[in-house]
């Protein structure tokens, strides 16, 4: 786990600056039931504020019905620290592996503006659940 350097205080949550939506999908082909279940998730981040900001940190809270809770944090997202000007969109895909058939994820992205000020944007809580018919398919989209 990588932490931001120096004395670090959590920045304020500023709603309305970034619009974040997540769409999870059960990845049956990569899963090995009952040992583990793989979920892909597609993230869309849109700068709906009036100022340019760079995503530099992520903080996830992951709940697995069998394995319990864990927190994961680190720099950027999938090796990138995108800079979003007003109106810009950044999309990426990642995944999560659960032991249980269900769980959820939520968290925060940390952004830095050109003047050095920082803020957090909520990542909406989204459910991870093996479909009853156990076939892959798109799930519901979750929006913050």
Contact assessment for residue 19 and residue 43, using Cβ atoms and an 8 Å cutoff = no
> How far apart, in whole angstroms, are the C-alpha atoms of residue 54 and residue 136?
34
- So what's the pLDDT on residue 139? 59
CATH no., domain 18-143: 2.60.40.1470
* 62: nearest Cα among 5, 112, 92, 24: 24
- So what's the pLDDT on residue 7? 47
- So what's the pLDDT on residue 136? 46
pTM of the shown model: 0.86
Under 8 Å CB-to-CB from 59, ≥6 apart: which residues? 71, 72, 73, 107, 108, 109, 110
Residues lower than pLDDT 70 in the chain = 1-8, 134-139, 142-144
pLDDT in tens, 103-142: 999 999 999 999 999 999 999 999 999 998 755 455 577 6
- So what's the pLDDT on residue 134? 58
* 105: nearest Cα among 78, 81, 129: 129
């Amino acid at each position: 786990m990588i932490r931001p350097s120096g004395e670090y205080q959590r920045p304020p949550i500023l709603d309305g600056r970034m619009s974040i939506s997540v769409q999870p999908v059960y990845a049956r082909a990569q899963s090995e039931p009952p040992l583990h279940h793989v979920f892909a998730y597609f993230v869309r981040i849109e700068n709906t504020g009036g100022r340019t900001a760079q995503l530099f940190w992520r903080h996830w809270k992951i709940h697995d019905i069998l394995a319990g809770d864990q927190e994961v944090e680190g720099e950027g997202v999938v090796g990138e620290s995108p800079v979003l000007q007003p109106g810009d969109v950044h999309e990426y895909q990642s995944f999560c592996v659960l032991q249980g058939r269900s769980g959820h994820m939520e968290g925060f992205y940390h952004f830095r503006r050109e003047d050095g000020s920082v803020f957090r944007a909520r990542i909406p809580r989204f459910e991870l659940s093996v479909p009853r018919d156990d076939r892959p398919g798109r799930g519901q989209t979750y929006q913050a």
